Amino acid sequence: MARKVMLMSVVSKNMSQNRQISSILFEMGFSRKTMRQYVKRRLIVDDNTMEGNWAIMCRAPCSNRIEELLKKLVISFWNDNTCPSSNSRDVIRHKIAPGQYEHHTKHWLDTIQHELYVSFCNEHPNVKVGQTLFEKLKPYFVRSNKVFETCFRHHIEFDLHYKVF
């Protein structure tokens, strides 16, 4: 890591054009090939485009990024189609930063997540979002009602067994 930092600090656009590179390489004990790689990398980092910024983190830009508008739409749908708890003690603390918390009332999900996803698709037919992404965007304060979910699961299993016979 120290080697990389040292080479990246030595190399600049002006330095790559000068003949001083060979003397610096000799003093540091590096080869020309290694320096050439760092020069290429430095030129990418110095570029102010999106690819240059991602080069700093050694990652390629994510091709399937989620738009903020879509995030807000899904989160507001979750918020509108869940029931807030009437109990004043049902408050969830969400840590934002060290020593800072956001308090929010618990919301109960009265249906299963799949039904809520189907209703979202019916209300917004032009928005293409998968069920997994829809469930990942579920806010931290939404909880499933375990009693309802257990009863519903038994009902579905009984219905499947009934159809077999």
Q: For 66-77, how does the pLDDT look when each residue is reduced to its tens digit (9 = 90+)? A: 788 888 999 999
Q: For residue 1, is pLDDT > 60?
A: no
| More confident of the two residues 106 and 2 | 106
Within a domain: 62:
no
Domain count, the chain: 2
Coil, strand or helix: which one is 126? coil
Domain match, 155 and 101 both: yes
Domain match, 144 and 108 both: yes
Domain match, 103 and 138 both: yes
Taking CA atoms, 31 is separated from 15, 22, 23, 133, 151, in Å, by 16, 9, 11, 47, 69
Within a domain: 158:
yes
Q: What percent helix, strand, coil does the chain show, rounded to 5?
A: 55, 15, 30
Distance CA 28, CA 34 (A): 12
Per-residue pLDDT, 124 = 93
Domain match, 102 and 145 both: yes
Q: For 127-144, how does the pLDDT look when each residue is reduced to its tens digit (9 = 90+)? A: 889 888 899 999 988 888
Return the ∠ at Cα 138 (arms to 107 and 100), rounded to 5°.
75
Range of the domain at 47: 2-56
Domain match, 154 and 91 both: yes
Domain match, 76 and 146 both: yes
Domain match, 136 and 91 both: yes
Per-residue pLDDT, 6 = 58
Domain match, 14 and 87 both: no
